Amino acid sequence: MNLPVIIKFVIDLLAVLLLALGIKGLSKVKSARDANRLAAFAMSLSVIGLLSYYLGTSGIAIQSWIWIIIGSIIGSLFGAILAKKVPMTSMPETVALFNGCGGMSSLLVALGVAIFPISNSVENLDFFKSLINQVSISVSIFVGAITFTGSIVAMAKLQGWLSTPSWTQSKVRHVVNIVFAVASLIAFFDLMKGNTSSIWLLVIVSSLLGIGVTLPIGGADMPVVISLLNSYSGIAAAAAGFVVDSQLLIVAGAMVGAAGLILTQVMCNGMNRSLVSVLFGGSLSAQSATSSGSGEYTNITSCSVEECALTLEAANKVIIVPGYGLAVAQAQHTLREVTKKLEQNGIEVVYAIHPVAGRMPGHMNVLLAEADVPYEQLKEMDVVNPDFPATDVVLVLGANDVVNPQAKNDSSSPLYGMPVLDVQEARTVFVIKRGMSAGYSGIKNDLFDLPNTSMVFGDAKKVLNDLIGELKDLGVGDK
């Protein structure tokens, strides 16, 4: 072993260690931010390690430097700009987009190696090694393409650019996807036989498969899909590691792949959905349309903002249940103003966070943190559920399925068994909502029919602004 090899080995080892510590640290609130920086540092370290290795051995040609600099500057610049500009409400889409690009990168590396075999590695390839090489290239392309197109579809659906076509809810989609899967298998074996041109077939059908698998999935399941695709991009990176013979790539890719799977499983548990039903069951709304879950509302009480303010003024304990509607209306800061007023009046305010409120676990925490809500006021579902009977007022802001009592009472409901917030136990429930439309699952919410529930119709931000005005008139929190 010569010096550059030893140096690279030490740096790689250090980078793996730091990356592992980074992922570990990201799972604790206190250390998370430092851990993220540590991981970023480990990534830069790994680049330095790789470049110094080549400088010390084969050297890096000037044209290589030029293309490295061009690629780095453009990629980093766009990434940094997007990361700074994007609003907090569209985090899930942003993660999906970044993720798709990671998959694209692995795909391109494998494609490059496949079309133009790197000179010095091809000469001394025996049969076994070239087989492994081809398998890892195929896997990298297959997984990379699915990650890319799947993530882009997921992003487009979350942004509302793409809806769910009706044919994707029928059995036809299984046939279509099986055709794509079989076609990729054929392309794979053709590639093994040495027919290099079938690599394009592999690229095309695996891209189509990524679209075909993601398109039928309903919006509520999207976070699970993004998390799964995140896991795939790790697998694609590990496969690319086999292509270019890099242990660091394999370890880091495998870590992300495994961690992504765990996270996906955690999210599925939160929604009481199995991964299989998310992937192959189609969107919930299509199922519920035919099931007994739908129905007419019979006993809706609607009330004005003024009444809501009066009730709030008289309360001792208020629980806020935020949901996706709050994120869409960008009302987190307005909400914070309302709760500040209530707190100044001596009213106890707590936020009940359902594990899958919003479009992503942790989505609400991020939004509320942005609005300076103290971390201690955010309570998780299991902690807050026993508190509802002793609560005077619950404000449901743009949440729907996570407060549906059907999940507890109605065994025929598609939601049955999903853990929910027991808001109906509180004395009064105000649901602030734009209209009577169903939640993402498309299921009727029995909560709205209960006698202690009042609906306040309107955009969350507008209602909260009006609420601030009403509270001011009542002299709440004016000090």
Partner 1 sequence: MSFISLLWVLLLGSLLGLELIGKVPPTLHTPLMSGANAISGITMLAALTLIVKAGENLPLLIIGSVSLGFALFNVVGGFFVTDRMLAMFSRKPSNKK
* 22 contributes a contact to partner 1 by CB under 8 A: yes
* One of 20, 45, 183, 275 touching partner 1 (CB under 8 A): 20
Q: For Cα atoms 148, 153, 157, give the angle at the middle one, nearest 5 degrees.
A: 150
Residue 88 binds partner 1, judged by CB under 8 A? yes
In the complex with partner 1, which residue's Cβ is closer, 106 or 400? 106
- Token pair belonging to 340: 């500040």
Candidates 37, 314, 436, 469; binder of partner 1 (CB under 8 A) is: 37
Q: How far is the CB of 246 from partner 1 (least distance, A)?
A: 6
Tell the smallest beta-carbon distance from residue 142 to partner 1 (Å). Answer: 15
Question: Closest Cα to residue 27, out of 263, 280, 328, 274?
Answer: 263
What interhelical angle do 127-159 and 222-244 show, nearest 10? 150
Query: For partner 1, which residue of 343, 348, 370, 425 counts as binding (CB under 8 A)?
Result: 370
**DSSP of 298-319:** ----B--HHHHHHHHHT-SEEE
User: Please, how many CA atoms are within 13 Å of residue 49, restricted to the half-sphere of its CB?
Assistant: 22
Least gap, CB of 190 to partner 1 (angstroms): 22
Smallest separation (angstroms) from partner 1 to the CB of 93: 11
Nearer to partner 1, 27 or 291 (CB): 27
Q: How many chain residues bind partner 1 (CB under 8 A)?
A: 119
318 and 342 in contact (C-beta within 8 Å)?
A: yes
Using the rule CB under 8 A, is 156 a contact of partner 1?
no
Rounded Cα distance, 343 and 19, in Å: 42
- Selected range binding partner 1 among 55-63, 184-192, 388-396, 431-439, rule: CB under 8 A: 55-63
Q: Find, among 284, 254, 431, 250, the residue nearest to 356 by Cα.
A: 284
Per-residue binder mask for partner 1 (CB under 8 A), 158-187, x = binder = ------------------------------
Q: Which residue has tokens 């609607």?
A: 302
Binding residue (CB under 8 A) for partner 1 from 1, 2, 3, 63: 63
Distance CA 359, CA 221 (A): 8
Cα–Cα nearest to 271, from 321, 322, 320, 225 = 225
Determine how β-strand 378-380 pairs with β-strand 393-397: unpaired
Residue 217's identity, in one-letter code, is I
Helix axes 91-115, 198-214, angle to 10 degrees: 170
d(CA 249, CA 234): 9
Q: Does 34 qualify as catalytic in the annotation?
A: no
Catalytic residue among 34, 190, 245, 401: 401
In angstroms, what is the minimal distance from the CB of 444 to partner 1? 27
> What 3-state class would DSSP assign to 183?
helix
Q: Which is nearer to partner 1, 181 or 279 (CB)?
A: 279
76 belongs to the binding site for partner 1 (CB under 8 A): yes
* 202 in Cβ contact with 180 (< 8 Å): no
Binders of partner 1 among residues 116 to 145 (CB under 8 A) are: 116, 118-121, 128-129, 132
Residues 209-238, interacting with partner 1 (CB under 8 A)? 226-227, 230, 233-234, 236-238
Residue 75 sits in the site that holds partner 1 (CB under 8 A): yes
Closer by beta carbon to partner 1, 266 or else 289: 266
Residue 82 found at the interface with partner 1 (CB under 8 A): yes
Q: Is 39 in the site for partner 1 (CB under 8 A)?
A: yes
Contact 433, 328 (CB under 8 A): no
**CB within 8 A of 280, min separation 6: which ones?**
174
Report the C-alpha gap between 461 and 337 in whole angstroms: 11
Query: Which residues between 260 and 319 bind partner 1 (CB under 8 A)?
Result: 260-263, 266-267, 270
Choose one: 166-174, 183-191, 241-249, 281-289; the region binding partner 1 (CB under 8 A): 241-249
Per CB under 8 A, the list member of 210, 282, 361, 398 interacting with partner 1 is 361
| Of residues 87, 109, 91, the one with CA closest to residue 99 | 91
74, 172, 289, 390: which one binds partner 1 (CB under 8 A):
74
Nearer to partner 1, 51 or 181 (CB): 51
List residues with catalytic annotation. Answer: 401
